[in-house]
Amino acid sequence: MAYTSQEILEGLAEIVAEETGLPTDAVATEKSFTDDLDIDSLSMMTIVTHAEDKFSVRIPDDEVKNLTTVGDAVKYIEGAQGA
């Protein structure tokens, strides 16, 4: 099943909220994981692992550094579906 960008955003918001305690509505496409959401590298790896499981995609470690905003992650997951 392919997820829409809105479904991916909502799913990521739930994962980020679980990991950080932030409200889901704080997670928006323009938000930076490190600058706006204060997510460190360890938390980011946990978020990536949960996102891989939730959306049935693979996000290689060398791609994680390119996912600076929530929008970057949504686009990557959207493109990785069915790949």
Q: Round the average pLDDT of the chain to a whole number and report it.
A: 96
Domain annotation for the chain: domains and CATH numbers: 5-80 (1.10.1200.10)
Q: How far apart are CA 37 and CA 80, in angstroms?
A: 24
Predicted local distance difference test score (pLDDT) of residue 42: 96
Asked if the model's pLDDT at residue 18 lies above 80, the reply is yes
Distances in Å between the Cα of 68 and the Cα atoms of 36, 76, 82 are 10, 11, 23
Residue 10 CB neighbour total at 10 angstroms? 14
Contact 5, 74 (CB under 8 A): yes
Residues 36-49 have pLDDT tens digits of 999 999 999 999 99
The whole model's pTM is what? 0.94
Strand partners of residue 32: 69
Residues 49-62 have pLDDT tens digits of 999 999 999 999 99
